[in-house]
C-alpha cells in the first residue's frame, strides 16, 4: 500500500487478468466509431448504429472516461505519466477532428467534457462505490449540467435541442439510405440479386420500412445514458488492466452482475408516468426511464441465466436462437430474449435467485 502526499492511502493491486473480451469490446468500440467508413453493403446496419448511438464517436466517450480515471488516480497520489499521456491523446484527437461549435456536434462535445469532469470528480471523492453507482451519478449530474446550460444559452430552451436531434437523426437515415442506393446500383449487387432473389427482396423491404420509419428521437436521452454507461464501463476495465492504482471495486463477471434493489423504483416511476393519463406531459420522460432501467434489469436477468445455465446447454440455446432468427425474424427473437431477461432481472430483485436457487453449472455449486 502506497501513501499519497496528502496522507490518503493509495490502494494498489495486480493488474486484472483476462484480455479476450476486453480486446473484443475495444475493437467493437473502434468499429462502431468508424461507421461512416463502412462499405455501402453495410449501410442499413450502419443506420442502426447511427440511430442507437447519439454520440457518433463512441470511442471519444471511452477516451474521456480513461482520462478521468488517469486524472483521478493522479489526484489520489498515483503517477502523473498516465494522466499526461491520455491528455496528449485527447489533445491530438481534438486537434485532428476539431469539435463543431453549433448543432448536435457541439452537444456531443459538450456532453463528453461534462462526463469527463463529473466522472473524474466522482472517482476522486469516492473509492468504495461500485462503477454502476458512479456512472449513474455521472450521467445524472452531467445531464442536469448540460440541460441547465442549454436552457440558459438557447432561446428555445430544451425543445430547440430536441428538434435538432430529431433533424440530425433524419439526416443520418437519409445518408444511410443514399449509401444503400449506391450499393443497389452496383453491378455486383445486381448479379447477386439475380442469383438469390430472396436477398434482394428482403433487403428492399427493409430499406422501404426504414425510409418510412420515424427516427427514435423520443428516446435519445435513454440511448445517450446507455451509451455513456457502456463507454465508462469499457474505460474502467481498460484502466484497471494497465494501471495498478485501484480506483474502486473491479467489474464483476456477468454471472455476478447485480445492483441495489432500490433501482427498481426507476422502472416503477417510468411505468407510472407512461400509464397515468393525468401525467401525459411526462410520458417521454417515463419512456426513457423504462428503457434505461429496463435495460439494466435485463442485463441482470442475463447474469442470472449465465449463472444458472451450463456452457453446453447455453450453446444449444444459442443455436436454437440462431435457427429461429430466419424463421421468426430478428425483432421477434430479440424481443423474446429481452422480455425473458427482464422478467428474470425483476424476479431477482425480490427472490435473489443466485442466493436461494441451485445452479446447474457444476463450477458454481457450493
Q: Is the pLDDT of residue 253 over 60?
A: yes
pLDDT at 14: 47
Spatial distance between the Cα atoms of 291 and 299, rounded to a whole number of angstroms: 12
- Gap between the Cα atoms of 158 and 147, Å rounded: 7
Evaluate if residue 227 carries a pLDDT over 90.
yes
For the chain, which residues make up each domain, given as ranges?
1-251, 254-366
pLDDT at 155 over 60: no
Mean residue pLDDT across the chain = 81
Q: Which long-range contacts does 307-316 make (Cβ < 8 Å, 24+ apart)?
A: 307/255, 307/256, 307/353, 307/354, 307/359, 307/361, 307/364, 308/353, 308/357, 308/359, 308/360, 308/361, 309/360, 309/361, 310/360, 310/361, 310/362, 311/361, 313/360
Whether the predicted pLDDT of 21 surpasses 90 = no
What would the grid cell of residue 162 be?
430536441
Per-residue pLDDT, averaged over 194-213, amounts to 80
| 183, 189 contact by CB (below 8 A) | yes
pLDDT at 11 over 50: no
Would you say residue 120 has pLDDT above 80? yes
Which of 127-131, 271-275, 307-311, 323-327 is predicted least confidently? 323-327
- Per-residue confidence (pLDDT) for residue 7, from 0 to 100: 37
- Banded pLDDT at 198 (limits 50, 70, 90): confident
> Is the predicted pLDDT of residue 267 greater than 50, yes or no?
yes
Q: What is the pLDDT of residue 290?
A: 94
Q: Which pLDDT score is estimated for 17?
A: 60
Q: Which of 42-51, 95-104, 255-264 is least confident?
A: 95-104
Q: What sections of the chain are H helices per DSSP?
A: 20-33, 43-52, 58-75, 81-96, 103-125, 131-153, 158-184, 187-195, 197-212, 220-242, 264-275, 283-308, 311-328, 330-351, 353-356
Confidence of residue 12 (pLDDT cuts 50, 70, 90): very low
- pLDDT at 10 > cutoff 50: no
Q: What pLDDT, on the 0 to 100 scale, is given for residue 357? A: 63
Q: What is the pTM of this model?
A: 0.85
pLDDT score recorded for residue 296: 95
Mean pLDDT on 281-289: 89
Q: Cα separation of 44 and 203, whole Å?
A: 9
Residue 362 pLDDT exceeds 60: no
In this prediction, residues 172-192 reach a mean pLDDT of 86
pLDDT at 230 over 90: yes
Question: pLDDT exceeding 90 applies to what percent of the chain?
Answer: 22
Residue 6 has pLDDT above 50, yes or no: no
Amino acid at each position: 500500500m502506497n501513501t499519497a502526499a496528502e496522507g490518503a492511502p493509495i490502494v494498489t493491486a495486480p493488474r486484472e487478468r483476462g484480455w479476450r473480451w476486453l480486446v473484443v469490446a475495444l475493437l467493437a468500440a473502434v468499429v462502431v466509431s468508424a461507421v461512416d467508413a463502412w462499405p455501402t453493403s453495410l449501410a442499413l446496419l450502419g443506420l442502426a448504429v447511427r440511430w442507437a448511438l447519439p454520440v457518433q464517436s463512441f470511442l471519444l466517450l471511452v477516451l474521456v472516461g480513461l482520462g478521468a480515471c488517469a486524472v483521478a488516480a493522479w489526484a489520489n497520489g498515483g503517477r502523473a505519466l498516465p494522466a499526461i499521456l491520455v491528455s496528449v491523446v485527447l489533445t491530438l484527437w481534438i486537434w485532428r477532428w476539431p469539435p463543431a461549435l453549433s448543432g448536435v456536434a457541439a452537444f456531443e462535445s459538450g456532453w463528453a467534457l461534462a462526463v469527463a469532469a463529473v466522472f473524474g470528480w466522482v472517482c476522486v471523492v469516492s473509492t468504495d462505490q461500485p462503477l454502476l453507482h458512479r456512472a449513474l451519478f455521472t450521467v445524472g449530474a452531467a445531464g442536469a449540467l448540460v440541460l441547465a446550460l442549454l436552457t440558459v444559452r438557447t432561446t428555445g430552451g430544451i425543445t430547440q435541442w430536441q428538434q435538432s436531434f430529431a433533424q440530425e437523426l433524419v439526416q443520418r437515415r437519409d445518408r444511410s439510405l443514399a449509401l444503400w442506393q449506391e450499393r443497389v446500383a452496383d453491378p455486383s449487387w445486381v448479379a447477386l440479386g439475380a442469383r438469390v432473389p430472396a436477398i434482394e427482396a428482403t433487403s428492399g423491404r427493409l430499406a422501404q420500412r426504414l425510409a418510412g420509419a420515424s427516427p427514435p428521437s423520443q428516446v435519445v436521452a435513454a440511448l445517450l445514458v446507455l451509451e455513456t454507461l457502456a463507454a465508462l464501463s469499457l474505460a474502467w476495465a481498460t484502466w484497471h488492466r494497465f494501471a495498478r492504482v485501484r480506483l474502486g471495486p473491479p467489474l464483476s463477471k456477468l454471472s455476478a452482475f447485480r445492483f441495489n434493489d432500490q433501482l427498481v423504483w426507476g422502472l416503477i416511476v417510468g411505468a407510472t408516468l407512461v400509464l397515468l393519463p393525468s401525467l401525459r406531459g411526462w410520458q417521454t420522460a417515463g419512456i426513457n426511464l423504462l428503457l434505461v432501467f429496463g435495460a439494466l434489469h435485463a442485463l441482470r436477468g442475463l447474469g442470472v441465466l449465465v449463472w444458472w445455465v451450463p456452457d453446453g446447454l447455453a450453446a444449444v440455446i444459442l443455436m436454437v436462437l440462431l435457427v429461429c432468427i430466419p424463421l421468426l425474424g430478428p425483432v421477434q427473437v430479440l424481443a423474446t430474449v429481452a422480455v425473458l431477461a427482464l422478467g428474470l432481472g425483476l424476479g431477482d430483485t425480490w427472490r435473489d435467485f443466485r442466493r436461494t436457487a441451485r445452479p446447474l453449472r457444476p463450477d458454481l455449486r457450493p
